[in-house]
């Protein structure tokens, strides 16, 4: 149980997001502080009952968190939290799953369109002041989405929104999920995750929207890439480690798949030495798919609901631990 609101203290910890500013607009009367660095977090954490945080969290900080009873993750992903450690210390953890689902789906659709319409090439030509002429080779022209097959790997909140966007472009949408009985979520067909390599050869575009779990790590490996069409595109708005990055680079270099658009990478920031930076058939965005002007308010909506639930001793929204 959390203390009463007049004795509650929240620590917002993020390098860039303006969480405290948006929380202050709600006029809750709850004391709060905002920190931007790991050093500031370590200094203020012992006084916090609630921590709103994402990548500034390190599991060794739990030793400083004597009062902490609730972590509201700012991100949907919670794979960097030691759940056993939090459980042992009586610290509840809730994710922000769903807050950015619409934004990530829109970003994925934008990446699909960008590759299909060859927008990265157009931007490069603009920088070079080069007006590209008509192209005789049909395989090198811009393409249309109508009639193409999109495979959504791990259809959930994000994937179901992406499916609806893709259907507006008259695409055929198939999807995988752990439990196909949970519903098609806007897709034309949904199948068990174990059938991925059977389905992947049908896809013109493979969009990854699954969480990172032991089952999904390196899910898109050399075998999965080998099963794809040579003209296929890979869109990753999930987590970098869902893809075997070395195998992906090799498949792209050898033109065994046509292109990839990546919002995430195994190591972030993507190292300067990565060959992905300079590959003409790769589009990179810096893990910004879910980052919009409305994001802070979405997380705070979730936080306020979870504060009420925690005070009443009820299950949290998106409760992980």
**95: nearest Cα among 62, 53, 40:** 53
Q: Which two tokens stand for residue 132?
A: 């590209």
- What span, in angstroms and rounded, lies between the C-alpha atoms of 257 and 115? 13
Active site residue 32: no
Contact 93, 316 (CB under 8 A): no
**Which residues are CB-neighbours of 83 under 8 A, at least 6 positions away?**
93, 320, 321
How far is it, in rounded angstroms, from Cα 316 to Cα 273? 42
Catalytic: which of 239, 245, 296, 309? 239
Q: How far is CA 181 from CA 88, 178, 190, 197, 209, in A?
A: 34, 9, 9, 20, 18
Q: Of the residues 268, 308, 312, 314, which is catalytic?
A: 268
Does the annotation count 293 as an active-site position? Answer: no
Which one of 14, 177, 287, 309 is the catalytic residue? Answer: 287
Active site includes 60? no
How many CA atoms does the CB half-sphere of 28 hold within 13 Å?
23
What is d(CA 160, CA 207) in angstroms, rounded to the nearest whole number?
Answer: 12
3-state secondary structure of 153: strand
10 Å CB burial of residue 89 (0-12, 13-18, 19+) is middle
Residue 256 has which token pair?
Answer: 């065994």
Q: Tell me which residues are annotated as active site.
A: 239, 268, 287
């Amino acid at each position: 149980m959390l203390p009463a609101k007049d004795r509650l203290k929240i620590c917002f910890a993020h390098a860039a997001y303006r969480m405290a500013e948006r929380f202050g607009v709600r006029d809750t009367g709850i004391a709060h502080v905002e920190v931007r660095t790991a050093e500031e977090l370590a200094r203020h954490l012992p006084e916090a009952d609630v921590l709103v945080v994402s990548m500034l969290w390190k599991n060794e900080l739990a030793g400083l968190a004597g009062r902490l009873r609730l972590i509201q993750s700012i991100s949907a992903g919670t794979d960097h939290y030691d759940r056993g450690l939090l459980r042992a210390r009586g610290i509840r953890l809730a994710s922000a799953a769903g807050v950015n689902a619409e934004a990530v789906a829109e970003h994925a659709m934008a990446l699909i369109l960008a590759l299909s319409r060859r927008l990265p090439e157009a931007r490069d030509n603009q920088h070079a002041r080069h007006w590209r002429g008509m192209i005789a080779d049909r395989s090198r022209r811009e393409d249309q989405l109508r009639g193409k097959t999109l495979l959504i790997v791990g259809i959930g909140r994000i994937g179901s929104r992406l499916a609806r966007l893709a259907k507006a472009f008259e695409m055929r949408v198939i999807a995988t999920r752990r439990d196909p009985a949970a519903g098609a979520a806007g897709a034309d067909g949904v199948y068990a995750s174990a059938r991925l390599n059977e389905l992947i050869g049908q896809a013109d575009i493979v969009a990854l929207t699954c969480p990172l779990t032991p089952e999904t790590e390196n899910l898109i490996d050399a075998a999965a890439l080998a099963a794809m069409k040579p003209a296929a595109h890979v869109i990753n708005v999930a987590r970098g480690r869902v893809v075997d990055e070395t195998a992906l680079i090799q498949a792209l270099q050898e033109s065994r798949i046509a292109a990839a658009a990546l919002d995430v990478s195994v190591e972030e920031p993507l190292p300067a030495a990565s060959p992905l930076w300079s590959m003409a058939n790769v589009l990179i965005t810096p893990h910004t798919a879910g980052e919009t002007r409305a994001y802070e308010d979405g997380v705070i909506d979730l936080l306020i609901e979870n504060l009420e639930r925690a005070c009443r001793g009820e299950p949290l929204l998106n409760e992980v631990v």
